[in-house]
Structure 1
Amino acid sequence: MDLRLDGVGTRLGGRWVVDGVDATPPPGHFTGLLGPNGAGKSTLLRLVAGLLEPERGAVLVGTAPEKPVPVASLGRRERARRIALLEQESSSTVPLTVREVVALGRIPYRTLWGADPGDDAVDRALAAADATHLADRAWATLSGGERQRVHVARALAQEPELLLLDEPTNHLDVSAQLQLLAFVRDLGTTTVAALHDLNLAAAFCEHVLVLSQGRLAAAGHPREVLRPALLREVYGVEADVLEHPRTGRPVIAFHEPAPVRAGVTAGEP
């Protein structure tokens, strides 16, 4: 799916939390959405998903050769079939099995009689998320990492053309993080994921968008974008950017902050 952000902006509590963002993530690739806390990442994902409507600008989507249209113009059912959003705080207190939770992703496809013409999509999604062995477990018995896998499976069960993920590696150990992001990278689906770990973004994303105070600070391949000057400007940290000996991808080595002497303001000699 083609995605274009055309001067997108919106306010929350009277403040512009997303402010004039112009971007075109490459279709069929994995884009990382980066930035410090409060930069507007989650809000931007909700705008792309159509859960919020921009106060200015537009989020445009389309699959060639169709002409891109504003997300807001899509009907709710069509939008749910084409766009899947995995938010940070996805929870359920209803007593469901894992298979039933994943099957919630098939709701947009159900007929008036409740039938789903693609029931095997649930099995495919469970397998893709390496969660088949959890299918008959009760949701309430899962660990945080297991729940995250199931939420990913539910999003995949929608068979979306555009996959949006908000901190998908939360609660996952290192091995599970690497497996999940490698899987997302290899999907061939247009994907935008908010990530905090810059080294994971550098390792797996083909494109990154860096937000700072709601505005787009940089966009491009991680090798071009994740440079010491940008890290200093956006994150307020000093770092060296090295090259991974096997992949050639950027590896960010952060500096420990200099100790502040009593009575001396940080940054003073």
Structure 2
Amino acid sequence: MELTIAGVGARLGGRWVVDGVDATPPAGALTGLLGPNGAGKTTLLRLVAGILPPDAGAVLVADDEAGAQVPVHALDRRHRARRVALLEQESSATVPLTVREVVALGRIPFRTLWGSDPDDAAVDRALAAATAEHLAERAWSTLSGGERQRVHIARALAQQPELLLLDEPTNHLDVSAQLSLLAFVRDLGITTVAALHDLNLAAAFCSHVLVLSEGRLVAAGPPRDVLTPALLREVYDVDAVVLTHPRTGRPVIALTGGTGDPPA
């Protein structure tokens, strides 16, 4: 899906938490949404998903029929839910469900007035795509953090989205699960925007990054071009050395301390 974020802004509590963001994440690729806490990442994802209406600008997506771009907020909720999937930061489930039942929630936008799903096999395909079919009959409450994230991805894939939005998908995962999840998402071939805290994960897996600071977009482009020592100092208030991974050739960020630290 082609996505254009055109001067988008949102006010919360009397202040601009997202302020005039212009960006065009590449279609079919993984874009990392970066920035310190409070930079506006979650709010921007909710704007792009159409959940939060913008106070300025627009989020534009390709229209199925006309081919031209239309505001995502102009799509009716059912149509939007078939095209855009947002995985927000995980919350604890209180309803006892199996994994298959959780993934089937992604099919709600496709159900008829009689409650039937015209594509019953979509749940099985989504489980297989997320390599989670072996979990299908497990109780959701018994899954590990990494397993839950894969099931969340399967639920989103059951929506058959053209745009996938992820808010801190690697939170609470061990290192192996983080690497596996981001490699999986990167290889989906779906236009994806993921809010990430770990700069090295973004550098390793994203083809494009957007960096927010105090609600404004301060840099956008390939990780190698964007994640420079100067930018890290400006946005994160840290000193860093940017190295090159000997195997992948991707950037590796070695933090050397906050700019306010005394010299070693």
- Name the TM-score class by shorter chain: over 0.9
Give the aligned CA root-mean-square deviation in angstroms: 1.8
Per-residue CA deviation, residues 96-148 of structure 1 (Å, 9 max, x unaligned), is: 11100010001011111222122222112112222222111111222333222
The reply to whether residue 216 of structure 1 matches residue 217 of structure 2 is: yes
Residue of structure 2 in register with 1:26 after alignment: 26
Instruction: Give the conservation status (yes or no) of the 8 Å contact 2:164–2:192.
Output: yes
Report the CA distance between 1:175 and its aligned residue: 1.5
Matches within 5 A, 1:89-100: 89-100=90-101
Extract unaligned runs of 5+ from structure 1.
261-265
Residue of structure 1 in register with 2:122 after alignment: 121
TM-score normalized by structure 2?
0.95
- Report the 3-state secondary structure (helix = DSSP H, G, I; strand = E; otherwise coil) of the residue aligned with 2:232: helix
Per-residue CA deviation, residues 175-211 of structure 1 (Å, 9 max, x unaligned), is: 1211111111111111000011110100111100000
How many matched pairs? 263
Give the 4+ runs in structure 1 shifted more than 6 A: none
Equivalent position amino acid for 1:32 in 2: G
Alpha carbons of structure 1 residues 257 and 219: separation in structure 2 relative to 1, 3 Å = closer
**Aligned counterparts of 1:247 and 1:224: Cα–Cα separation in 2:** 16
Instruction: Give the conservation status (yes or no) of the 8 Å contact 2:29–2:190.
Output: yes
Equivalent position amino acid for 1:58 in 2: A
Instruction: Give the conservation status (yes or no) of the 8 Å contact 1:110–1:116.
Output: yes
Alpha carbons of structure 1 residues 37 and 258: separation in structure 2 relative to 1, 3 Å = closer
Extract unaligned runs of 5+ from structure 2.
none
**Aligned counterparts of 1:84 and 1:102: Cα–Cα separation in 2:** 13
TM-score normalized by structure 1?
0.93
Matches within 5 A, 1:135-174: 135-174=136-175
Alpha carbons of structure 1 residues 259 and 212: separation in structure 2 relative to 1, 3 Å = closer
Instruction: Give the conservation status (yes or no) of the 8 Å contact 1:109–1:116.
Output: yes
**Aligned counterparts of 1:230 and 1:257: Cα–Cα separation in 2:** 13
Residue of structure 1 in register with 2:135 after alignment: 134
Alpha carbons of structure 1 residues 258 and 36: separation in structure 2 relative to 1, 3 Å = closer
Per-residue CA deviation, residues 197-247 of structure 1 (Å, 9 max, x unaligned), is: 110100111100000000001000001000000000000000000011111
